[in-house]
Structure 1
C-alpha cells in the first residue's frame, strides 16, 4: 500500500485548505480525502483523551485517521505516476510528528504555508467562535487563557499564539529533515500571486506546470454575542461533548441546524483591532526574527502595527 510523497504541514488557518484544493487539480498530484487525516499526530493508536479536553475536541478526535492501513488506503486510488499528498496543518507545530514523518517518510517533500501570526491567531479564534465552540467573546482574553487551556489538555487548535511560532517549529523540523525538502509559502503570496506561487510549488514537487487557480475562501457568516446565541453556543458545546460517544456523522447532522441559527443574519464580521494587535505583537518579535534568519527572507512586515486581515479583505 502507498504512503504519501508530499505533505502540506502547516499552518492552521494559513491557506492549507486552499492550497490542497489547488494542487489536487493537477493530473499528476493526488490529494487525500479527507484532506486532513492527522495520521502523524498519532502513534498508530487513538488520540489520547487527555489532550482532547476542550469544547468539541473529543468529538473531532473521532475523525482522526490513526490506523496505518486505513491511512494507506487514502492513497490507493492514485493514478499511476502521480504524487500523493495530504494536508494536516498541525504537523508543523507538533515536534513528535516531525520525528514520525522523518522516520516513516525519509524522502517526503514538505510544504508549509505560513501567515502573519496574529492574523492567523485571530482567524483561528474566529473559526471556533462562529462554530459555537469558543466560550470567550473577546479575542485577546481568549489568548491570555492559552496557558490554562494547554494545562487542562485542550487540543492544539486552541493554541492561538503558540501555533504561529514558525521560527522555532521550522528550526526543530530542520534538525530531522533536510531543509532542501521543505518549501515554505507565504499566505500573502498565495492570495496575491496565486499563479506564481503555485508554479513555484509545482517546480518544487518536480511536476510540469499545471492549473494555477486557487479556490476562494469559504467564509462563514458572523455570529454576534447575543443572549439567544449564548444559549445556542451552550447547546453546541454540550452536543459536541455528547458527540464524543457517537459516530462523527451523527453529530455533524445534529449540529447543522444549530449552526444555521447561530450564523444567521448579516452582522459585520469582527476585525482584529490595532489595540489587540499592539498588545500581543511582542509575543512574536523574537520568533519572527528567528524565522527571517532561518529562511534568509525578511518576515518583519508581520511586526507592523496593522495586519492584512482575512482572505476576503486582502482580495478587495
Structure 2
C-alpha cells in the first residue's frame, strides 16, 4: 500500500519544500486547536531515543509529528527554533478533532510527542519545556557513558564533522567547549554546534542533567531508564513506557533497533581512562536515583 509518506519521499526537493511551507502555514493557522505534546524522549544521545520513538509510533495510540515524515522525530524547537513561538511549535502536533477520531478507533485517548537527545543536554531546555508544556512526561534513556562517548564519536566521524581520532577528540574537548555554555546562557537564541557535536566525555555526566530536569519537573513526570535494559528487553521496556504514559500494553510487531551504526572496538587505553573518569559520577548517579550501580 502506497502511503502519503511514500509519495512525499519520492517527490523532488522543490515540491517537498512547497508542501512543507503550505503544511506549516496551515498548522500555524490552526495552532490553538493543537495541544502541546504529552511526552518527550529527551536523551541521551546515542542512547536509543530514535529506537524508542519508533517503537512508540508502532502503538495505535501514539501519534507522530504533523505531518508525519519518515525518519523525523524532533522539531528542535526548544534549542534551535524557540524564537518562532509556541504557535509554531503547536503546529507540529495533531488537532483535538483528529485525536478524537483516533480515540474512537483505539478505544482510548492517543498521546503525541517528539524525541531529541539534545533536550536532556542543554540546561536551558527543561525550564522552557515547563513553561510550554507543564504536564508533559519526559523519558531519559541513559547508556553506559563509556560506550556512549565512543558511539557519539563514531557518528560524528561518519558524518564528516569530526576530523580527530577518539583519543585526540577527548583531549581537545575542554578547549572546544570552552566558553560555549556561558555564551548559551547569555544568549537564549544561541545554539552551539561544539557543545552538541564534541561533548563526548562531558555528556556522559548524567547526574547534573537529571537534577536539572527534576528542578522543573517532579519525579513522577520523569522516567529514567537504562539503554542497556531496552536493548536486552525491548518489549519489557516498552511496557514500562506504556505504563508511564497511561497507554494499554501493545505487542510490538518488530523490535529491531533504529539508527544503529557499525560497531567497532573502543581503543583500550581510552576505555580504561573513561572508566576511571566515570567511576565516581556513576556512583553518585546511582545514589541519587536510589538504584544499584548502573554500570561497572
Establish whether TM, by shorter chain, passes 0.5.
yes
What's the secondary structure of 2:82's corresponding residue?
Answer: coil
Aligned CA distance change for structure 1 residues 172 and 155 (closer, same or farther; 3 Å): closer
Choose from 50, 63, 74 the match for 1:36.
Answer: 74
Matched, 1:203 2:243: yes
| Aligned-pair CA distance for 1:68 | 3.0
Matched, 1:125 2:125: no
Describe how 1:124-163 pairs up with structure 2 within 5 A: 124-136=152-164, 138-151=165-178, 153=180, 154-163=194-203
State how far apart, in whole Å, the 2-side matches of 1:174 and 1:5 are: 17
Q: Which residue of 2 aligns with 1:7?
A: 40
Instruction: Assess if the C-alpha contact under 8 Å between 1:19 and 1:214 holds in 2.
Output: no
**Deviation readout 1:108-149 (Å, 9 max, x if unpaired):** 11111110001001000000111221111x212111111111
**Deviation readout 1:143-174 (Å, 9 max, x if unpaired):** 11111111275241320111111111111211
Choose from 207, 211, 215 the match for 2:256.
Answer: 215
What's the secondary structure of 1:283's corresponding residue?
Answer: helix
What's the secondary structure of 1:282's corresponding residue?
Answer: helix
Choose from 108, 124, 128 the match for 1:100.
Answer: 128
Matched, 1:70 2:88: yes
Question: Where does the alignment leave 5 or more consecutive residues of structure 2 unmatched?
Answer: 1-33, 101-108, 181-193
State how far apart, in whole Å, the 2-side matches of 1:40 and 1:95 are: 11
Matched, 1:85 2:113: yes
Choose from 265, 270, 280 the match for 1:286.
Answer: 280
Q: Which residue of 2 aligns with 1:192?
A: 232
| Aligned-pair CA distance for 1:67 | 4.6
Instruction: Assess if the C-alpha contact under 8 Å between 2:61 and 2:247 holds in 1.
Output: yes
State how far apart, in whole Å, the 1-side matches of 2:260 and 2:81 are: 33
- The count of corresponding residues between Structure 1 and Structure 2 is 234
Aligned CA distance change for structure 1 residues 219 and 174 (closer, same or farther; 3 Å): closer
Q: CA RMSD in A?
A: 1.9
TM-score normalised by L of structure 1: 0.69
What's the secondary structure of 2:249's corresponding residue?
Answer: coil
State how far apart, in whole Å, the 2-side matches of 1:44 and 1:189 are: 33
State how far apart, in whole Å, the 2-side matches of 1:152 and 1:169 are: 19
What's the secondary structure of 1:84's corresponding residue?
Answer: strand
Hey, which of these two has a bigger chunk of helix by percent? Answer: 2
TM-score normalised by L of structure 2: 0.74
State how far apart, in whole Å, the 2-side matches of 1:219 and 1:193 are: 17
Q: Which runs of 4+ in 1 moved over 6 A?
A: none
